Amino acid sequence: MRRWLLAALVLLIGKLRRRRALPPGRPVREPDRRAENITFLFLLGAMAAAAAFIVVYFANPDTQFLGATLGLALVLLAGACAVAGKRVVPQIEGVKERPELGDAFEQDEVMSVIAEGGEGVTRKRFFLLAGGGAAGLVGAALLTPALSCGPEANRVLSLSPWQRGRSLVDERDEPIAAAGIVVGELVTAFPSGADKEDIASPVIVVRVRPDELDLPDDRRGWAPEGLVAYSKICTHAGCAVSEYRYPSYGPTAPGPAVVCPCHYSTFSVTEGGKRIFGPAGRALPQLPLAIDDEGYLVADGDFSGRPGPSWWGVRQ
Amino acid sequence: MTGNPQRGRELYLTGCQSCHGFAARGIPGTAPSLHGVGAASADFYLSTGRMPLDDPHAQPDRTEPAYDRQSIADLVAYIGSLGGPAVPQVDVVGGRLNLAEGQRLFTENCAACHQIVGRGGVMAGAFVPTLLEATPRQVVEAARVGPYVMPRFSEAQLSDRELASIARYVQYAKHPENPGGWALFDVGPVPEGMVAWLIGLLALVLVIRMLGRNDAP
């Protein structure tokens, strides 16, 4: 198998080399209209794809479409550069002895010689326009996402579906009975009536023995019957914190914690979501819980901090 | 196989009481009480060879069971007589089980730690065991008992039928169907990504090589 792969590789490289060794039959100075047309087409395509990226960004910012349009724009731009470099711009190299440039007349002469270098290209103006347009549009497309860091970002990121009295539901929108959660079990919950894909929506609910709890002093009453809730989104890179370890016998095993499967950030569920291991920079935000008259779980306020991955300025 | 709790008690006194105590009420800091843990827990720990454990502070790993089947049944009968859930009856051959549902539930509830084909891995502070040798009954027992640091799954979260579907998927995942290509020992996406990188990089190098061809004389 490996020998065959090697043989194929050697053949392929050999073929490339042989073709290169052929004498260049193409007259260099003759304009290649077909190559120019292809370059134009590529540049126009790159412009269209870059424009599409900007449209997609504002209309329907789906990462698949964003990636596809930007990728297409870059590929077409690269194609245009490749064709232009190989077939449109004259490929000739020469070294010519020159005396020192003494006066303005000689300088003018040199300038004209350099200008003649581009004679093989027709429609130069059009070329410049298309190239500049493509570069400008692709550049604009690359800069557009910076708008996401604007003042709107802070407002959007601080929106939270959680408030006092909002009930917790499971993924089938059924309310969650407090008594149904046993010690050692991990339950994922969402705010009723909210978008489950919102970064502030998913929470994990676990029950620990009340004597295990070691919450900060200002969070007394946040954990009725030892039920605690935390944002399910890791504060490091925004993965879903989906691993739960609860020792069946505490003294001989690691303590109760949730673990993010991406980079093993570990948060203690008995100590208010404190980070005890891994790359996350801050604790998991805790959601104050209450139990309503019918025994179902409701939120007793908003998170203790901002849910979601950390970015500049958000470390609390 | 029915066990004899009297003989189980005798085996307990020779093999288990040094950590779990004479009355099976545990020794603080060393081992938990066995009152109320149930036959399911005892069957899981003994049939997977996780108990008896040499060092009470080590993670119990799967080994060859220390007792023969009759002795395990006797010990399970004794621990069961102290109260707690019974050994579950699991029938994964039954027609109502759905392999696709089992895979979906395994993905949602188990794969984060055990990996999608159950080959295990690591988590902070513990090793996640492979499920290659787990029998359907052991899978169901582990989910209900939550051994070592594994979380528990109550019946509200996974019904008996759903759990049996998961157990069936675990049996399937021991020898998953590979529709083509190299399975890479089913260890997951890391080596597959490496292969993609190596082949993709080679292709890129060839493209660069072709682009860099110089036609000038």
**Residue of chain B whose alpha carbon sits nearest to that of A277:** B124
Q: What is the C-alpha separation between A230 and A259, in angstroms, rounded?
A: 12
pLDDT for B57 beyond 70:
yes
Query: What's at B25, amino acid-wise?
Result: R
* A212 sits in which H/E element: none
pLDDT at A21: 46
Residue in A219, A212, A227, A233 with CA at minimum distance from that of residue A177: A227
Measure B210 CA to nearest chain A CA, in Å: 7
> What is the ipTM, given to two decimal places?
0.82
Which of the two residues, A61 and B134, has the higher pLDDT score?
Answer: B134
pLDDT at B194: 80
pLDDT for A17 beyond 90:
no
Q: What is the C-alpha separation between B89 and B86, in angstroms, rounded?
A: 9
Sheet hosting strand A168-169, strand order edge to edge: A168-169, A186-191, A203-207, A227-231, A286-287
Q: What is the C-alpha separation between A24 and B151, in angstroms, rounded?
A: 72
Residue in B119, B97, B130 with CA at minimum distance from that of residue B184: B119
pLDDT at A22: 44
CB distance A254–B124 less than 8 Å?
yes
Which of the two residues, A21 and A102, has the higher pLDDT score?
Answer: A102
Mode of pairing for the β-strands spanning A186-191 and A203-207 = antiparallel
The per-residue pLDDT for range B148-182, each reduced to its tens digit, is: 999 999 988 899 999 999 999 999 998 888 777 67
pLDDT at B214: 61
Please give the DSSP secondary-structure letter assigned to residue A102.
Answer: -
CB distance B152–A93 less than 8 Å?
no
pLDDT for A178 beyond 60:
yes
Q: Strand pairing partners for A169?
A: A175, A190
Q: Which two tokens stand for residue B124?
A: 């902070």
pLDDT at A4: 76
Which of the two residues, A103 and B156, has the higher pLDDT score?
Answer: B156
State phi, psi for A241 to the nearest 5 degrees. Answer: -75, 100
- Decide: A200 and A303 in contact? Cβ < 8 Å: yes
Per-residue pLDDT band at A92 (split at 50, 70, 90) = low
Measure B215 CA to nearest chain A CA, in Å: 7
CB distance B148–A247 less than 8 Å?
yes
The per-residue pLDDT for range A30-87, each reduced to its tens digit, is: 667 888 889 999 999 999 999 999 999 999 888 999 999 999 999 999 999 998 888 8
- Decide: A273 and A235 in contact? Cβ < 8 Å: no
Residue in A241, A248, A177, A259 with CA at minimum distance from that of residue B144: A248
**Residue of chain A whose alpha carbon sits nearest to that of B107:** A242
The pTM of this model reads: 0.72
* Cβ-based neighbours of B206, under 8 Å, separated by 6 or more: A12
CB atoms within 10 A of CB B84: 17
Closest CB from B32, B123, B209 relative to A243: B123
The runs of H, that is alpha helices, within chain A are 2-21, 33-59, 63-83, 104-116, 124-143, 151-158
CB distance A253–B148 less than 8 Å?
yes
**Quick one: CA dihedral B43, B48, B49, B51, positive or negative?**
negative
pLDDT for A18 beyond 70:
no
CA B105 to chain centre: 15
CB distance A245–B149 less than 8 Å?
yes
What percent of chain A is predicted at pLDDT more than 70? 84
Cβ-defined contacts of A144-153 (< 8 Å, 24+): A144/A53, A144/A54, A144/A57, A145/A57, A147/A57
The runs of H, that is alpha helices, within B38-159 are 38-47, 69-80, 99-109, 111-114, 136-145
Residue in B168, B144, B155 with CA at minimum distance from that of residue B91: B168
Q: How far apart are the first and last CA of chain A?
A: 56
Residue in A247, A269, A248 with CA at minimum distance from that of residue A258: A269
Residues of chain A neighbouring B144 (CB-CB closer than 8 A) = none
Per-residue burial over B10-26, b = 16 or more CB atoms within 10 Å of its CB, e = otherwise: ebbeebbeebbbeebeb
| B57 at A interface, C-beta within 8 A | yes
Residues of chain B neighbouring A277 (CB-CB closer than 8 A) = 124-125
Q: Which two tokens stand for residue A235?
A: 């504060």
* B203 sits in which H/E element: helix B189-211
Closest CB from B29, B124, B206 relative to A277: B124
Residues of chain A neighbouring B150 (CB-CB closer than 8 A) = 245-246
Residues, chain B, total? 217
| B181 at A interface, C-beta within 8 A | no
The per-residue pLDDT for range B76-126, each reduced to its tens digit, is: 999 999 998 999 888 776 666 788 999 999 999 999 899 888 988 888 889
pLDDT at B170: 93
Residues of chain B neighbouring A257 (CB-CB closer than 8 A) = 124-125
* Cβ-based neighbours of A181, under 8 Å, separated by 6 or more: A187, A205, A206, A207, A227, B154, B156
Average pLDDT over residues A282-301: 94
Average pLDDT over residues A208-237: 93
* Cβ-based neighbours of B141, under 8 Å, separated by 6 or more: B40, B41, B43, B44, B87, B88
Q: Strand pairing partners for A258?
A: A244, A267
Q: What is the C-alpha separation between B176 and B195, in angstroms, rounded?
A: 20
Per-residue pLDDT band at B71 (split at 50, 70, 90) = very high
pLDDT at A146: 87
Measure B144 CA to nearest chain A CA, in Å: 10
CB distance B152–A181 less than 8 Å?
no
pLDDT at B31: 93
pLDDT at B151: 94
3-state SS, A263-304, equals CCCEEECCCCCCEEECCCCCCCCEECEEECCCCEEEECCCCC
Tell me the pLDDT of chain B averaged across its residues: 88
Closest CB from A182, A186, A264 relative to B124: A264
